[in-house]
Structure 1
């Protein structure tokens, strides 16, 4: 087959199947732009490899297999991204829930009463022994 016949056959194949293949891909991807990209890539791969294909190869089946695999890989990748997003969201929710629990358990009176007592004790330690004893006795 000469190159002119190759081009004519390719154009006929393209004109007959391009829209069908896009419809097939959109059915799985729900994204027309990605579907068009995959179909165009599949036709390009077919064109570039046509000389290396066995004579029994059915061009439209070959192209559809490429589109199928591209769609399958895209959907699997989307599923992985969704799982990662879910895990990140779950982790984020866990962190927020931990913050809520920590804040709810926080007792400012307890925190500051302990700090205040430590400050009083440190100040008392600096006082002369007699003054400290008088202060302690006055608090009992």
Structure 2
């Protein structure tokens, strides 16, 4: 529905469009906030604040092409602010606080890893990129060949060449790609 609810409608004060946006994305944004901060009540407050800021500042932005992305970034930034502000009051020597910090760092590392691998895969030639993405989705060579209307040998060759390219472009991160492929 993000494509149907336009920023233009919200910018012009269409409360029904804003309510529809809220209903559609509030639950998923709460889930995102919850992953960052681990407190349901605070996560809900943060998401509500992101929506309120969007509504209050709707006339100050020129254009927001993707409302979902805008809300995700807003929620993420508000989560960081929340964590930074709580840093002064949390006992970071407690095992619980240290565990949350480790979980949060692991989440950020995971997101960055996906971004690095995705960027490297997207830099491949179009056919190789399709093959690697289909392979990462768990598809077998025969299924890939049928979908792309090429031979299984072509799939194998292109996949081999793509993995060689990825090994070179990812350098120290290549082992992470191997882990992702092993999960499939």
Question: Normalized against structure 1, the TM-score is what?
Answer: 0.51
8 Å CA contact 2:10, 2:18 repeated in 1: no
Q: Please give the per-residue CA displacement for 1:87-111, whole angstroms capped at 9, x wherever unaligned.
A: xxxxxxxxxxxxxxxxxxxxxxxxx
| Aligned match for 1:24, one of 24, 32, 39 | 32
Paired positions, count = 86
| Aligned match for 1:73, one of 67, 77, 81 | 81
Q: Sort the Cα spacing of 1:48 and 1:84 in 2 relative to 1 into closer, same or farther, 3 A.
A: same
User: What is the Cα deviation at residue 32 of structure 1?
Assistant: 0.5
Question: Normalized against structure 2, the TM-score is what?
Answer: 0.40
Identify unmatched segments of 5+ residues in structure 1.
87-140
User: What is the Cα deviation at residue 74 of structure 1?
Assistant: 1.7
8 Å CA contact 1:46, 1:62 repeated in 2: no
Q: Please give the per-residue CA displacement for 1:83-137, whole angstroms capped at 9, x wherever unaligned.
A: 6777xxxxxxxxxxxxxxxxxxxxxxxxxxxxxxxxxxxxxxxxxxxxxxxxxxx
More helix by percentage = 1
Q: How does 1:9-88 map to 2 (within 5 A)?
A: 9-82=17-90
For residues 22 and 49 of structure 2, the distance between their equivalents in structure 1, rounded to whole angstroms, comes to: 12
Root-mean-square deviation (CA, aligned residues, Å) is: 2.7
- Rg: which structure is higher? 1
